[in-house]
Structure 1
Amino acid sequence: MFSKRKGKTEVDLEQHELLENAQKRIKQKKRLFSHFVIFLIGSVFLILINKILKVQAEYNWFAWAITAWAFLFMIHAFNVFVTHKFMGKEWERSQREKLVAKQKNRIAALQKEIETDFPISNINKKKDLPDH
């Protein structure tokens, strides 16, 4: 009843990785949504500043500012929804595997080169020769 050992559910490594990935995606989408809300509020604020203060009323500078901000928002949305699919966990994993395979091949080539330049049998023969 009061034992220190409570039924612990073991989450294996793969499930833990899936949970971390899901939390990361949720955080990305939450930031995108926050960016959208701030964009809307900021746009209304820029329009009000232009109308109330009548700063250069003949030139709609706020339209350029909102357009630039909208462009940045679209880049943010593109990164969250499109780029992540192409360069997500699977892409990272495949790139890591390619790099590891390339390094292993390079190490094997270096070992082969060393073995051809300095064969072990010659080293053993030199050890067996008496010093004069």
Structure 2
Amino acid sequence: MELKNNNSLEEERYYEAKKQVEALKGFYGNLIAYIAFNIFFLIINLKTSPEHLWFFWPLLGWGIGVFFHAMKVFNFSPFFGRNWEKRKIKEFLEKEQKQKNMWH
């Protein structure tokens, strides 16, 4: 029984690590695209109409999206982080387990 629990725990950790790596790859892909496209927009803007700097709008809008993506991937939250989620999940599971034990 103990061996099965250890394997299950290792599999769960592996799955979580794999999910984190995929999230990091997605974030860095998004960041590279953000930088590349905004450089392209800057060049186009300066070549066509340097008196009106419209490239700031996609820079700002997409930048906000990249910022929130980074917050999610790097687990930064000023209010509720991943640790809070894990504690709440554990709390609910323990509460459910206690209720099961009461009925058996």
The alignment's TM-score, normalised by the length of structure 1, stands at 0.57
The match for 1:38 is 33
The one-letter amino acid paired with 1:20 is Y
Given candidates 5, 10, 19, the residue that maps to 2:14 is: 19
CA shift for structure 1 position 15: 0.7
Matched residues in 1 for 2:12 and 2:97: separation?
25
The match for 1:70 is 63
> Higher Cα Rg: structure 1 or 2?
1
The one-letter amino acid paired with 2:38 is S
After superposition, where does 1:1-132 map in structure 2 within 5 Å? 12-54=7-49, 57-83=50-76, 86-87=81-82, 91-92=85-86, 94-100=87-93, 101=95
Matched residues in 2 for 1:71 and 1:91: separation?
24
CA shift for structure 1 position 51: 2.4
For structure 2, the 5+ residue unaligned runs are none
Matched residues, percent identical?
Answer: 19
CA shift for structure 1 position 48: 2.1
The alignment's TM-score, normalised by the length of structure 2, stands at 0.70
The one-letter amino acid paired with 2:24 is K
For structure 1, the 5+ residue unaligned runs are 1-9, 112-132
CA shift for structure 1 position 53: 3.0
The match for 1:6 is none
Question: In the comparison of the two structures, how many residue pairs are matched?
Answer: 94
Matched residues in 1 for 2:69 and 2:89: separation?
26
The match for 1:119 is none
CA shift for structure 1 position 32: 0.8
The one-letter amino acid paired with 2:23 is Q
CA RMSD of aligned residues (A): 3.0
The one-letter amino acid paired with 2:30 is H
CA gap 1:97/1:82 in 2 versus in 1, 3 angstroms: closer
